[in-house]
Amino acid sequence: MTEATAQSSRVLIGKTAIITGGASGIGLAIARAFATQGASAFIVDQNEQAARTEAQKIRASGGVADAAACDVSDWQSVQRVFGSIFQRGPVHLLVNCAGVAHVGTVGNTNEEDFDRIMRINVRGMYLCVRAVVESMKNQGGGVILNMASIAAIAGLPDRFAYSTSKGAVLAMTYSVARDYLNHNIRCNAISPARVHTPFVDGFVAKNYPGREAEMMEELGRAQPIGRMAEPEEVASLAVWLCSDEASFVTGANYPLDGGFVNLRG
């Protein structure tokens, strides 16, 4: 393969992407994949040091990346960070990965925890979409990709607040896709099942000390395919959905679930 052919095969060349929650887990895998595919990746995360470290690693590998600290639930923070990125040029892609999890039923989820989940997972996504959508409209189009969850479409035990927030993410996705259909802005969602991220490792280590291997196997078996997804698998789907190869796809939700929704016994 010639260098010119290799360049042309990278499907995101010339695109600028903002990835929220991009300093770890799924967001980081997407930032790396986007940079590999030729995009300029802006890692936006509340953990500024981690975001800058990961952006530096991408640059060291030959990609284009930068980082900024942002509280996605705060409009002033979003305006400041996104505004500084807009000053450098148009933003073509927004991937909303920033979010937090919660374990509990409606009966034992207190108001503070419920409000925190909704503030970050729903308000945070709304603010980030709001920050880019008019700019995308004025520049002739763009792509918004929201990270939902199978918790939005399947009844999961002890995930009341989290499931509620991800259901809102799906509704938001469909609404934005419809409202901006005539402005060449595509908006889609990915709904992963359990993904093997550092969050999962930390959760298992904290709650099941000495039983880590056993619990990881159990978590993997919850998916009919027999394992958890890897962040890179989510990133591969994100690359396609944000590329021109998916130009006919909008208002869609893609379960990436190892058969969880449709193949459970």
Residues with a known catalytic role:
162
Long-range contacts, 111-119 (Cβ 8 Å, 24+): 113/161, 114/161, 114/164, 117/161, 117/162, 117/164, 117/165, 118/161, 118/164, 118/165, 118/168, 119/73
Q: Distance between CA 34 and CA 13 in Å, rounded?
A: 9
CA distance 90 to 112: 37
- The first and second tokens of residue 67, run together, are 């980082």
Length of the chain: 265
Residue 148 identity: A
Which tokens belong to 215?
A: 């619990």
Q: Which residues contact 108 (CB under 8 A, 6 or more apart)?
A: none
